[in-house]
Amino acid sequence: MSHKRIPKRKAAIAAGGAVALGAAAFLLPHANASQDGASDAAAAAPRTLKAGDASDLASRLAGLLGDAFAGSYYDGENKQLVVNVVPGDDDHVIARAEKAGAAVREVDNSMTELEAGARTLKSQATIPGTSWAVDPRTNKILVTADSTVTGDKWDRLESTVESLGSGMATIRKSAGAFRTFASGGDAIFSGGARCSLGFNVTAGDGSPAFLTAGHCGVAAEQWSDAQGGQPIATVDQAVFPGAGDFALVTYDDPATVAPSEVDLGDQTLAVSRAAEATVGQEVFRMGSTTGLADGQVLGLNATVNYPEGTVTGLIQTNVCAEPGDSGGSMFTRDGLAVGLTSGGSGDCTSGGETFFQPVTTALEAVGATLGAEGGVGAGGDQAGAGAGAGDAADQGAGDDSGPTGTH
C-alpha cells in the first residue's frame, strides 16, 4: 500500500502568522530566478551569485586559501560572497580569492584563533542556556546566553569571554530560554510527543525514510501520522545530544511514496538536493506548529548547551520556531534542503534564535540520500525526496491527515 501526502486543510497555514503568509506568497514565483553572471571583461570583480552557488564557492576557497581563509558570508543585498582573509606571507592570496569571484575583506582573527576561542568556551563555559558560533560578518565569536544564565553562571561566562582577549568575541543576552521544540499535540506523534517531519530521503538499503530531529528520535521509537494512531515509521538511527541533532526514521511500509518536495500548505516546493548553509543566506522554515517562517543564517558550526546536553555543529538563525516545530525543514526559495529544526529561544510573536541541524551532515552520518541523489525509490520515482517538515501545518487539531499522506 502506498502512503502519499494529500493535504486536507489548506487554510490552517494562517496559524503561522502574517510573516508566514507573506513568505508563502512570494516563495514560489521566484524559485527559478536566474543568476546574473559577470562579464569576461570583469573577471576579477565579485561575481553575482545565488546563495547556493556562494556556498559552493566558499567551500572551494576554504581549501584554496588554507590558513589565510577566515570565514565567509553571503551579502544578500549585492548577491556576492564576501571572504575574510588574514594577510600573511603569501601576497597572492587576495588575488586568488578575487579571481575566483569573491569580494575580499582583510580581517585580524584567523579561523585557527577563532576555533581555539571556541574550544576555550567549551572547556570553561559549557553552561546550560549558552551557545556560541563564529560570526564571519564581525570576524568574532558570537556568544549568546538565555534568560536562565544569571548570577555566578553569567559571571563565569563573561569572564571566559573576556579571557579570550579584546576583539575575539561578543556576548549578548536572549530574552527566552533555550529548549528543544518538541511538544505534545499534532504532526508526527509518539505517545505524548509531537514533532515535525523534515525531509523524505532514501535510506542506504533503498527503503523510504525521513529525517527529523534527533531529540525526537531518542524520545520514542515509533511514530504515527495521527495522534493515537497506528505507527507508520520506526526510528533507525538517532543522535542527541552530542555531534548533532538528527534521526533517520524508516517507513514501515516499503511501498511508501516519498515525494521530493516541501508541503507549504496551499502549494508544494520541489526539493532538488541538500546544500550547505552560508552566513547571510535567506532561508525558510516549515513546521507543524507555526507553518512557514523566514529569516537569515547567522552562524555556522554552532555549539548549543541545552538542558539535556551539549549539541555541536548546528546552524544559528533568526528564524522563529515554537514547540512542535522540532525536526521541521529549513530550505531555500529555489528548493535546496539546508536544515532540520533543533531548538532555540523565543517564539513567532516575540522572535528569537533557532538552531538547525545541517541536512548534509545528517545524510552523511546515516548513509541516506535526498532528492535527485536518491534515484528511483520504493513506491515511486521521487523517493529520496524532501517532504515538508510542516506537513501537519495544514492539518489542524484533530485532523487525521499525515505528514506524508493517506494510506
What residues are annotated to the active site? 215, 245, 326
DSSP string, 314-377: EEEE-----TT-TT-EEE-TTSEEEEEEEEES-BTTTB--EEEEEHHHHHHHHT-B-GGGG-SB
Backbone angles phi, psi at 63, to 5 degrees: -75, -35
**Distance (Å, rounded) from C-alpha 332 to C-alpha 284?**
6
Q: What does the block give as the cell for 64?
A: 584554496
Ramachandran region, residue 55 (left: φ > 0; alpha: ψ -120 to 50; beta: rest): alpha
Interacting residues of 193 by C-beta distance below 8 A, sequence separation 6+:
182, 183, 184, 216, 219, 220
**Distance (Å, rounded) from C-alpha 385 to C-alpha 371?**
5
**Do residues 109 and 82 make contact, with C-beta atoms less than 8 angstroms apart?**
no
Reported in sequence order, the residue ranges of 28-107 that DSSP labels E, i.e. its strands, are 69-75, 80-85, 103-106
Peptide bond before 241: cis, by omega within 30 degrees of 0?
A: yes
Compute and round to an integer the Cα radius of gyration of the chain.
21
**Do residues 240 and 181 make contact, with C-beta atoms less than 8 angstroms apart?**
no
Q: What does the block give as the cell for 369?
A: 540520500
Strands 336-344 and 273-274 turn out to be parallel
Task: Enumerate the β-bridge partners of residue 11.
Answer: none
**Do residues 162 and 170 make contact, with C-beta atoms less than 8 angstroms apart?**
no
**Distance (Å, rounded) from C-alpha 43 to C-alpha 29?**
30
In the sheet with 69-75, reading across from the earlier edge strand, the strands are 69-75, 80-85, 103-106
**Distance (Å, rounded) from C-alpha 247 to C-alpha 271?**
19
